[in-house]
Amino acid sequence: MDQVIHIFRKEFSAYFISPIAYIVIAIFLLITGWFFFATFFIFNQANLRTFYTLLPLVFAFVIPAITMRLISEEINVGSDEILLTMPVTFQDVILGKFLASVALVVAMLIPTFAYPLTVSLMGQLDWGPVIGGYVGAVFLAAAFSAIGLFASALTRNQIIAFIIGLAICFTLTLLDKMLYFLPRSLLSVFAYLGADFHFQNIARGIIDSRDLLYFVSVCFAGLYGAYLALLQRH
Partner 1 sequence: MIEVENLTKYYHTLCAVDQINFDIQKGEILGLLGPNGAGKTTTLRMLTGYLQPSSGNIHVKGLSIDKHILEIKKILGYLPESAPLYHDMLVFDYLNYVAAIRKINSDQKLARIRRLADLCGINEVMHQPIGELSKGYKQRVGLAHAMMNDPEVLVLDEPTSGLDPNQIVEIRKIIKEIGKEKTIILSTHILSEAEATCDRIVIISQGKIVADGSTENLKRSAGGKNIMHLSLQNADFETVQKSLASIKGIEHVSCLSETPGALNVRLSYLSTGDLRPDVYRKIKKTDWILLDFHQETQSLENIFRQLTKES
Q: Which residues bind partner 1 (CB under 8 A)?
A: 2-3, 6-7, 9-10, 14, 17-18, 77-79, 81-82, 84-89, 234
CB of 55 to partner 1, least distance (A): 30
Cβ closest to partner 1, residue 50 vs residue 72: 72
Cβ closest to partner 1, residue 81 vs residue 208: 81
Cβ closest to partner 1, residue 154 vs residue 203: 154
CB of 233 to partner 1, least distance (A): 9
- For residues 184 and 55, give the distance between their C-alpha atoms in angstroms, rounded to a whole number: 28
CB of 17 to partner 1, least distance (A): 6
CB of 70 to partner 1, least distance (A): 12
CB of 93 to partner 1, least distance (A): 11
Q: In 3D, which of 17, 104, 115, 116 has the Cα closest to residue 63? A: 104
Cβ closest to partner 1, residue 218 vs residue 229: 229
Cβ closest to partner 1, residue 101 vs residue 200: 101
